[in-house]
Amino acid sequence: MKMENLEPTLDTIEDYNGKESKEKRMTIWIVILSGLLIGAVYTIISANSSVSDELDVSHNAGMLKH
């Protein structure tokens, strides 16, 4: 029984060395730019929303000051 090499070589892969289709190239750019856009929107929202770190001490804890 002869063992055959069934692994593809780089030359047989259709996307190797700039041979990918324009549709695949456009899809990759859309995914990359979408990720950057979502990250930018998230960063802008998180930078402009402020969370108050002030503690609410208006309640009376039952201790009297002298």
Confidence label for 3 from pLDDT (cuts 50, 70 and 90): low
- The better pLDDT of the pair 56, 9 is held by 9
Residue 37: predicted pLDDT: 98
Confidence label for 8 from pLDDT (cuts 50, 70 and 90): confident
Say how far apart CA 40 and CA 9 lie, in whole Å.
39
Q: Could you report the per-residue pLDDT of 12-62, keeping only the tens digit for each?
A: 777 777 778 889 889 999 999 999 999 999 999 988 887 767 766 666 656
Nearest to 18 by CA among 6, 28, 8: 28
User: DSSP for 27-48?
Assistant: HHHHHHHHHHHHHHHHHHHHHH
